[in-house]
Structures are given as C-alpha cells and as structure tokens.
Structure 1
C-alpha cells in the first residue's frame, strides 16, 4: 500500500449497495460490496441480498441483478453480523453516502443492531477538491480520473472505484490537505452532497419560512423585511416549512437519520433552499399557510387548499323549531357568523361527526336531518335505545333542542369580536386581520394602506385556527 496514504484510526470501508429502488424502510437491498483498507492491507467482500419485493425491470437492466439471482440469497438479517464487523470502527466511505448509509442503518435496525460510523461522502469530497467541476457523479469521476471499471452498477465494482478515487486524490494532493477536508466533512455529515453549503451558512437563525427546491427549481428567496425578493413564480418547491429558528430547523431535516421515507426523499431531491424571514412565529405560521395553498408543494401533506369547507348552522324554522343546516364557506361569511358549529373539510366529514354526536347524546337522527323517517313514528335508533323518543312525542321538541345545543357547544365557531379589520402587532410588523381572514402583513403605513384597500381573501380554516390563538397572544391595534 502507498505509504503516502494516510488512514484514519480503524481504517476505511468503501461501501456500495444496490437496491430494488424501494424505500429505506423496507427490505430493498439486493447487493452489498465493501472494500476494507487498513494497516493490514486491502480486503474485498460482497454478497447478494434477498429483498422483500421483486426487482423492477429497469433496475435489472441497470445492475444486471435479477429476481432469479437473489431468490436463494440470504436476507439482510442473515448477514447483518458479517456486514457489521466489516464496518464497525471504520470510516464509512460511499458515493452519495446518505443513500447507502440510510439504507444500511434502517436494515441494521430491523435486524436488532445499531451502527453509528463516521460517514464520508465522496461526492462532497470531490466537490471540495475540484470546485471548478460542476458534476461529481461516479461516471464523471471515472472519466475525469481514469478509473478502471470492472463491474459498473454492481456493489463491489463501484466500491472498488471509490478506493481507486481515494488513491488518485492522494497522488494529486498532500495527505494533510485531504485529511483536513475529511475531518471537516465528517464533522458536518448531515448536508446532502448536492446542496451548496453556502446556502446553509447564509441561513439566519430567526423566525420565518423555508422552501426546498429540486433540480429544476428557480427563483429568489424573499423576506418580509425586504432584504430579499419574493419566491420565484416560475418554479414550484418540493416542501415548505416554518420555524422560529430557520437555520436549526433546516439542518434538522438532514440530521434525521432517515427515520422516515419522507426525510430521505427530501434529502435526495433538494438542490436549493430559499427562505422568507418574518417578525415572529405568527408571521411564519401565516406565511407558511398561504404559500402551501398557493404553490402546493409535493411533500406537504397538511395545509392544503380545501374548497369544500362547511359547517353546521343552527337556526329556527318558520314556526320557531330549531333545525340544523349544512352551509358552505363559499355561500356565507363564515368569519362573522355567530350560529356556526364545527368546520369540516367535506360533507361526509360533517355528517359523520353529527352522527357520532347523535349517538353520544341520544339525539334523534331523523330530527337532525340525518335519516328519512315517517313523522310521528319511532325511529330505528329509538328501537336500539339510542334515541329518547323525540321522533314520536316521547320527548318534547324543546327538550331535544336544548340537548342538541348543549351537544354542539364544544364545536361552536369563534365569533369575530370586532366590527372591522384590526392589526395584530408582532415585533415591527402588523398582521392585518378581518373576520378571521389574514389580509396581509405591513411594516409601514404605506403597506398598511395598500392592504386595507385590497380585497378580502376567501375564508381559510388553517388561518382561522392560527388567528384564534394569535389574538390571545398579540396586542390588538384598532385600524
């Protein structure tokens, strides 16, 4: 072995895996290859692995590994101890290491083992050593450094390419320079290799919203403080989040050790991060809700736009009897009503909740409009002893109505307490609100005037929930 090669304590393990293309949280590894390098020399080891699902055709064409080849191969649990022994105590070196390390960590957990090696990504190392080159895929490293290819897209073949790359860079750079870079990169193992570290360095640790963009994302970040421009209209983000400490929250996405497929997917796809600073937590919550509904990021499950928002309205008919009516946000000014109960994202959800309420409080479903039933006869729920008889005169309409009002009390919608728009002061910003609608955020009188002159947005349930809590926390300014 070349004497110029400086090895870390415990040595190196150059690692590559092949998978079915499935997530880390399933048995998707099909092959593992490891090249161990230490003071005793170089040793190679590899094994096919039986996954829990079939290998897709395109993966078979890429790797040459098909279902027949792995049919009698061991499952990962059967070779977990052998893999553990070859990795334990060594510097784990892989190309796009988050992928290989993430899949192996998850597989070890399922096998009842926990391994926490120091991890070095050769994509990151190549970017630091050769900043003038834009691309650092393994194919580009092969071409750029003249690496000898034996079996491309096979685990041991690709692991051996990394060992060759390690030798090539030691021929070109002083060992001390490489060792310093390795110490720095291993000390910051959580950033995806394709993400510019300068973006993380520029992130403020203040309240705001962050946007993750993929390969084709474009645009510019923004701030309510006008330090940067607004998010680019010509691109769609992968994910939008909020935090009172932007930098810490963004870093937490990349330090999750792939305990969820969502975090792993995000770390593999993100290419650029943008952010919008806000005056505080309420501003961040409101900005996040607005951006998610407008841009519809693929990885956001909550805060999505909902056009079927509805509520139960309790009113009296022509003869003074209480009755329930399902009303929609598009038809009524939800923010200023004092006779609404619930808020539901669909008619089905509203009906299901009312049926549960009827069973819980022994209310009569036909009188609530949930079932059709001949007037004056006993309903089906009465026969099951779940109704007190208001359907056939066994209970007075007034008594039934009082119990209905009592049952609905916990679902009462908060009534807007002011006649016009007000401002909620948060730091140097004022959030302008009217009828539980967020009209905008102003930092000066001109912005405030523009917001008050603009039209009101549609009623939004997520904004309503934010503002109901915000009016209890922030000073209210009459406008």
Structure 2
C-alpha cells in the first residue's frame, strides 16, 4: 500500500493551541514496507502546568510528567523515528503543528509529508457520519483501555491502515490517499514551506509583491486555511489568479480573536492602501449632518467634515458620507420620503423676502414649515424621527476603555477612546504607553462600525481606564 515507511503518531498536549500549549506525551508506531512494526512512546515534561480538565481527559497528571524528559531531550529520538517517513495522524494538522512548533522552539526545522486519517476515512467510507477516533475504534472492533494515551491512539491508526486492503481494492486506496495528500498549487514565487508556517489561528495576513509592494490585507479566524483558500479551488477569479502570480512574500500577525483581527486589518488597509483591497475613504472626505438651531427658528442641518471636527466627540451627528454630494443626495431622498422642508433643512436657499415656499411644498412634498403652515416644533419632531436610524452613537464611557479578548493562551486589551482605536496591549505595561502616545488616532468610519457592532454582543468585557488628563 505504501512504498515508504510510515509513522503513525499521536501526541497528547496541555491544550489545543500549538503556539501556546506543549506536548505531554508522544506515541509513534513505525510501519515498514516489509511489514515490520516498531513502537515507541514517552511522556514529556511540558514545562508548564497541565490543566485539570486535560488531566481528567488523558489521565496524564502533572506528577507523572514532573520527572519526564523535556521535548528538547527527546527531539533527536523523535526526529530519527519520523525522518523520511510518511507522517500519519488523525487530524494530522493538529499533531504536525505541535511537533513542528516544538522543533521551532529549538530553532530547528521539521517538515514531513502528512496523511490525515480523518480525511482518508471520509474519502473511503462516505456512508459513515462520524470519523473521529472513537468512531474508528468502534468500526474496527478494537478494545482499548488507554484511550487518550498517545501510543494506544497511534496503534488505532495502524489497525485502520491495515484494514483498508481488506475492504477496498489497491487502486481505490491509492486514489484516495493521493486525493487526501494532494497539495494545492501555491504561488510560484513563494519560498517552500512558507504557508505551512502560518498558524491556523485568528489574525491578519499581508501579501506583498515585487519591491515589497502591499498587494492585499486580509483577516480570518484561521489564517492558514484562509490563505490557502486564495489559491485552491476550481473557481478562482481573475483577480485571485493575478494575485497568485504577483505574490512574493506573506506576513502575518496573530491576534486574540475576531475583534483584534478586524481592528488591525482596518488600520493596516488604511495605512498601506494595498492594491487589491477596496481603498478606505480619506478622513477629510468623510462628512456628517449635524443638527443645530436655525437662525429663523426650529432646527436645521449643517454638513460637518471629519477633517474639521472629531466625530467621536461631537454630538447630534447623523450619517457618515463619503462626499458632500452623497450627503446631499441622502438628505434630499429622506426629505422627499418624509415630506420635510428643503428650506428648513438648508437644501434650498430662501428667496428675498423669506415668504416663498420651497419647491417641495409646490409639488406637495412639504407640509409647509417654510411658510408657517407647519410649526417648527412639529417639523423638528418629524425630522428627528426621520433621522433616528442615522444618528451616530455617542461614546458611552467617561474616557478610554480596554476591551479584553482572549484565545487559548493569548490575551489582549484593545484600547479605545471615543470610538478611536488607539492600539492593543499584550502586556499590562503597554496600556500606559498606548494612552500617552502622540499623535492619537482620530475617528475612523470602519473602526466605528466594528466597535458599535461588537459592543452590542453579550459577554463583552470592557474595562474603564479613567479620563485622559
């Protein structure tokens, strides 16, 4: 079935994140082409506490690994047993990522061809709904006493591979393995293995072309999967094909969750203006209607620009528009729908003498505020009702706040003040430096949209930081 030696491997760990958690046990079953089988396993001191939940799941306690060797002490043995062999694991990306990261901590590189038995089971046994290890154990009729111990789980994979020739012909197995192991056609100019180094965690990735020209900024809850998606599939767009040809380098930044990724993406897109991202409007192009007292009585609207006032601190603002023309079009459409007075809104200039009705009144689309037929109070109330959905939210805190976000071992505090994203603190000492940095970022439309939506969600932890002096 295989022309090369196979290493069925399973690792037990302190948690789910290869970047932050560590290996507590390794089990390897080597299968040679001549049928020879060799087994090896060891506990590993993770050099960090094992959570109680993981102790209960695996049966591996802190006391058991206290005197065990560290990964660095068994690294040569692991490499000897894996080198030149096909790396077979159930959900191979998990085990492979942990092994690679352990070697990376030692500044050593480890790479291997991998075969995921979850995907192979799905390919060869589509009639079965479940393909986790417990399902394989049940289907194979294996009796196990040490489930969730590394060597016992690795043996299950050996039994699974041995069962395949009994239930499928050789060509079908070969095609299934080829399908599962097929690597996507990656951009030709990328260094080998670069995509493998990208963690499948929340964050932001950046594509660069010749002379480090920024091509694209993106975000994802699983960066590696999202990056791979740019270059896989039969329905790639012309834009993605062009991007693939231009791509020379990938950079990535991990975050503690979706909010951190969105905030960082918005900041980087605005700062770098990548050629494949939709360009954000410059701040001085943004404008909003502000409700003020009219000199003739009642309330009117005045167009304010983000270049002139801080939208995060101003009151009575309605809508965010890319230009004066779009702001006027939106207000005219609203006036037409709600029969508001164009003169009172400032969309028409009054005639000399001040008693001529607006054009809307003449075509029966104004209730007469311009000629006293409707009182200022009535018009003001209808105007506020019409604008209610466009009203910019006022900052609901006394000063700057930190929004806490966590993801398996990583914690970040996103510092925000009056809707302006100031930065992200990864350590407690970073907060003061971010608050005191100058110049401070101003109002940003995309950041405002992200924050107002995020803060409406339940369970968000917001920490007041006090009023800036």
* Partners of 1:411 and 1:256 in 2: CA distance: 41
Is the Cα–Cα contact under 8 Å of residues 397 and 464 in structure 2 kept in the other structure?
A: no
Residue by residue, what CA displacement relative to the aligned partner does 1:149-189 show, whole Å, maximum 9, x if unpaired?
Answer: xxxxxxxxxxxxxxxxxxxxxxxxxxxxxx99x95999223
Identify the match of residue 322 of structure 1 among 267, 292, 299: 299
- Determine if the alignment matches structure 1 residue 409 to structure 2 residue 388: yes
* 1:259 CA drift (Å): 4.4
* Partners of 2:311 and 2:242 in 1: CA distance: 39
3-state SS in 1 of match to 2:241? helix
Q: Match of 1:124?
A: none
3-state SS in 2 of match to 1:477? strand
Moved more, 318-327 or 239-248: 318-327
Is the Cα–Cα contact under 8 Å of residues 342 and 359 in structure 2 kept in the other structure?
A: no
Identify the match of residue 443 of structure 2 among 456, 459, 464: 459
Identify the match of residue 326 of structure 2 among 339, 349, 352: 349
Equivalent pairs counted in the alignment come to: 282
* 1:383 CA drift (Å): 2.0
* 1:306 CA drift (Å): 3.7
Identify the match of residue 385 of structure 1 among 339, 364, 367: 364
Quote the RMSD (CA, aligned, Å): 2.2
Residue by residue, what CA displacement relative to the aligned partner does 1:316-372 show, whole Å, maximum 9, x if unpaired?
Answer: 145652111111122222112231110112111111110110011011112211122
Q: Match of 2:271?
A: 294
Matches within 5 A, 1:68-87: none
Is the Cα–Cα contact under 8 Å of residues 424 and 471 in structure 1 kept in the other structure?
A: no
* Partners of 2:294 and 2:359 in 1: CA distance: 25
* Partners of 1:388 and 1:259 in 2: CA distance: 55
Q: Match of 2:202?
A: 207
* 1:303 CA drift (Å): 3.6
3-state SS in 1 of match to 2:371? coil
* Partners of 1:208 and 1:183 in 2: CA distance: 31
- Determine if the alignment matches structure 1 residue 423 to structure 2 residue 406: no
* Partners of 1:298 and 1:368 in 2: CA distance: 39
Structure 1 residues 319 and 307: CA distance shift in structure 2, 3 A = closer
Is the Cα–Cα contact under 8 Å of residues 323 and 368 in structure 1 kept in the other structure?
A: yes
3-state SS in 2 of match to 1:194? coil
Is the Cα–Cα contact under 8 Å of residues 283 and 306 in structure 2 kept in the other structure?
A: no
* 1:446 CA drift (Å): 1.7
Moved over 4 A (4+): 182-186
* Partners of 2:285 and 2:186 in 1: CA distance: 40
Identify the match of residue 243 of structure 1 among 204, 220, 224: 220
Identify the match of residue 472 of structure 1 among 451, 456, 464: 456
* Partners of 2:297 and 2:349 in 1: CA distance: 21
Is the Cα–Cα contact under 8 Å of residues 190 and 251 in structure 1 kept in the other structure?
A: no
Unpaired runs of at least 5, structure 2: 1-173
Residue by residue, what CA displacement relative to the aligned partner does 1:114-149 show, whole Å, maximum 9, x if unpaired?
Answer: xxxxxxxxxxxxxxxxxxxxxxxxxxxxxxxxxxxx
Q: What TM-score does the superposition give when structure 2 sets the normalisation length?
A: 0.57
* 1:286 CA drift (Å): 0.6
Matches within 5 A, 1:131-210: 187-210=182-205
* Partners of 1:305 and 1:258 in 2: CA distance: 34
* 1:302 CA drift (Å): 4.6
Q: What TM-score does the superposition give when structure 1 sets the normalisation length?
A: 0.56
Structure 1 residues 382 and 304: CA distance shift in structure 2, 3 A = closer
* Partners of 2:210 and 2:315 in 1: CA distance: 48
* 1:390 CA drift (Å): 1.6
Q: Match of 1:39?
A: none
Q: Match of 2:425?
A: 442
Is the Cα–Cα contact under 8 Å of residues 310 and 442 in structure 2 kept in the other structure?
A: no
* Partners of 1:340 and 1:252 in 2: CA distance: 41
Identify the match of residue 396 of structure 1 among 371, 375, 379: 375
